[in-house]
Chains A and B, each alone.
Chain A
Amino acid sequence: QQQVKQSPQSLIVQKGGISIINCAYENTAFDYFPWYQQFPGKGPALLIAIRPDVSEKKEGRFTISFNKSAKQFSLHIMDSQPGDSATYFCAATAIYNQGGKLIFGQGTELSVKP
């Protein structure tokens, strides 16, 4: 019940295209859903996050869509650029019940071709 399932494992997108990564969870106590971006040799960095009281959050080219009833959330990267090539992790936590410890998806390796 603590799992977060992420797909696809890898994704190749042309420059200017839309990258879509999906995640699903089981634990209804989760109340915070961040997406992290990781470049090789670096630690993950927070990209964007959402709480379950909203269905969508947009920051620049990055959008999270959240479907509470389906227990799914997704990351959309609009106008994908080669610099977006990285590994993306979705995560979830129950902030106050679990102290913010993150449960991560398995990661998606995104490659944006010029």
Chain B
Amino acid sequence: GAGVSQSPSNKVTEKGKDVELRCDPISGHTALYWYRQSLGQGLEFLIYFQGNSAPDKSGLPSDRFSAERTGGSVSTLTIQRTQQEDSAVYLCASSWTSGTFFTNEQFFGPGTRLTVL
């Protein structure tokens, strides 16, 4: 079956522009995570969605970052007024849960490489 897909695979933008990154999780997976991977900071958690619960935004680095998940499936990560330090690979992962039961395994997409000039 299809894995987690992300688009675009690469995005080059100018400083100050807004960007939207998309994630299509594995069908049926109710938990969705965004992470950022950069040379200086490694892999960092950004935000987590679980079903209809309020998202855990504790990892978002600034209020320029936001994310939404529509219909419990596709998620979009938006970065407003991009800065050069936002350059990184943005990874999305999904996992299956049932209520409070977590299967633990997170399946990662290939990532979106964002370059801010």
Chain A residue at minimum C-beta to C-beta distance from B3: A43
Q: What band does the interface of chain A fall in when counting residues whose beta carbon is under 8 Å from B?
A: 20 to 34
B111–A101 CB distance below 8 A: no
As a 0/1 sequence over residues 73 to 107 of chain B, the CB contacts with chain A under 8 angstroms (1 = contact) are: 00000000000000000010101010010101111
Chain A residues, CB < 8 A from B97: 100
User: Given the complex of chains A and B, what is the CA–CA distance between A101 and B97 in angstroms?
Assistant: 13
Task: Evaluate contact between B102 and A96: CB separation under 8 angstroms.
Answer: yes
Q: Looking at the complex, which one of A43, A95, A106 makes contact with B108 (CB distance below 8 Å)? A: A43
In the assembly, what is the distance between CA of A44 and CA of B106, in Å?
A: 9
User: B45 near A49 (CB under 8 angstroms)?
Assistant: no
Contacts of B72 in A (CB 8 A): none
Chain B, residue nearest A2 (CB): B45
Q: Contact at A96–B100, with CB atoms within 8 Å? A: yes
- Determine whether the beta carbon of A102 is less than 8 Å from that of B42: no
Whether A99 and B110, one on each chain, are in contact in the complex, defined by CB atoms closer than 8 angstroms, is no
Closest beta carbon of chain A to B36's beta carbon, Å: 11
Chain B interface size, under 10 / 10 to 19 / 20 to 34 / 35 or more: 20 to 34
Given contact pairs A43-B4, A43-B111, A101-B33, A106 touches B48 in the complex (Cβ within 8 A): no
Residues of the B chain whose Cβ atoms lie less than 8 Å from the Cβ of A32: 104
How many Å from the CB of A95 to the closest CB on chain B? Answer: 5
Contacts of A103 in B (CB 8 A): 45
Pick from A41, A44, A96: contact of B43, CB below 8 A.
A44
Residue from B100, B104, B110 within 8 A of A49 (CB atoms): B104
A43-B31 in contact (CB<8A): no
How far is it, in angstroms, between the C-alpha of A114 and the C-alpha of B104 when the chains are bound? 35
Q: A43-B109, A96-B100 are in contact. List 18 more A-B contacts (CB 8 A).
A: A32-B104, A36-B108, A43-B108, A43-B110, A46-B106, A49-B104, A89-B43, A95-B102, A99-B50, A99-B102, A100-B48, A100-B95, A101-B45, A101-B56, A101-B59, A104-B43, A104-B44, A107-B43
A-B contact pairs, 23 of them (CB 8 A): A32-B104, A34-B104, A36-B108, A41-B110, A43-B91, A43-B108, A43-B109, A43-B110, A43-B111, A44-B108, A46-B106, A89-B43, A99-B50, A100-B31, A100-B97, A100-B106, A101-B56, A101-B59, A102-B45, A103-B45, A105-B42, A107-B42, A107-B43
